[in-house]
Amino acid sequence: MELILLLLFAYLLGSIPSALWIGKLFYKTDIREHGSGNLGGTNTFRVLGKKAGLTVTTLDILKGTAAVLLLALPYFASVNVHPLIPGVLAVVGHMFPIFARFKGGKAVATSGGVVLAYHWPVFIVVLITFFIALKLTKMVSLSSMIVSVVGFLYSIYHYIRTGDPYLMIMIGLFGLFIFYRHRANIGRIKAGTEPKVKWL
């Protein structure tokens, strides 16, 4: 029972549609009706501005972190499951949130939150990589995909050094999620029509 509740709570955490709720509560705006329609930090930046975008991105990161840390709660102390499993459920919840008709974000920030909770050095590496890539390309989508590749390469190094395969498996899975969720962006990048940020 505890395992089922753990996985359910992790999914529900991931399902919290930060962009939708913040948009409606503080800006009287349904972000799904503007920009790309995506419930993520990038579209929030584009539609509602820097303050809202930063808030949503931070909350989406914390969803992934909180899901991994659920195992630290006394109620789940006896649950024998790898901490990355609830993290994966949170990412699935972010992409397919029950609170937003199963149409969510693109998994980048929440995946980062899971990584932050499990192995923070790789989070720092991918965060720095993201801003470097964004500075050079001006495209959040391309930067996100670059980050997933760099994160996977780091996880291979981590595996060689420690023998821990779980980080590599998880980041590889998250990378597949990210590329799949960005398939429309890939088409626009090839066509030269992908929107570029103007604030960096």
Question: What does the domain layout of the chain look like in residue ranges?
Answer: 2-191
Question: 142: which residues sit within 8 A by CB, 6+ positions away?
Answer: 133, 185, 189, 194
Residue 10's identity, in one-letter code, is A
Ranges in the chain, pLDDT < 70: 199-200
pTM beyond 0.75: yes
pLDDT score of 200? 65
Nearest C-alpha neighbor of 186 from the set 153, 178, 44 = 178
